Amino acid sequence: DAGVIQSPRHEVTEMGQEVTLRCKPISGHNSLFWYRQTMMRGLELLIYFNNNVPIDDSGMPEDRFSAKMPNASFSTLKIQPSEPRDSAVYFCASSSTGFGQPQHFGDGTRLSIL
């Protein structure tokens, strides 16, 4: 079984550039989560999709961040323009809907903004 697939694994770019992170959830999972992990704040939920619809985006830091899920097998998280403080590891996770379903995490994208 393929797990959650994220790309790229690493991204280094200069501030001001647009960054796009990609996620392919596990087939059949209808919940998708984007998280950010930093040393200072640990893991934080950025946005939650259910059946491709954004349900909770209260964790998205500011307007520079946007996320889309055009279909059940693909989601993107975009940062435009990027800033050094956006440097973090970004995880995508998916799960089946319903109480008690574990979240399956991708390997993460390590983002460095210079």
Partner 1 sequence: KNEVEQSPQNLTAQEGEFITINCSYSVGISALHWLQQHPGGGIVSLFMLSSGKKKHGRLIATINIQEKHSSLHITASHPRDSAVYICAVGNSGGSNYKLTFGKGTLLTVNP
Which CB atom, from 12 or from 15, has the smaller least distance to partner 1?
12
Short-list 5, 27, 7, CA closest to 72: 27
Tell me, residue by residue from 1 to 40, as one string, x for binding to partner 1 by CB under 8 A and - for no binding. ------------------------------x-x-------
Q: What is the Cα–Cα distance from 42 to 38, expressed in whole angstroms?
A: 5
Contact stretch for partner 1 (CB under 8 A) within 12-20, 22-30, 72-80, 93-101: 93-101
Beta bridge partners of 66: 78
Q: Which is nearer to partner 1, 15 or 43 (CB)?
A: 43
Which one of the spans 11-19, 61-69, 80-88, 100-108 is the region binding partner 1 (CB under 8 A)? Answer: 100-108
Residues 6+ apart with CB under 8 A from 41: none
Residue 10 or 85 with smaller CB distance to partner 1:
10
Spell out where the chain has E strands: 5-7, 10-13, 19-24, 31-38, 42-50, 53-56, 65-71, 74-79, 88-95, 104-105, 109-113
Binding-site ranges for partner 1 (CB under 8 A): 31, 33, 42-45, 48, 50, 55-56, 89, 91, 93, 99-100, 102-108, 110
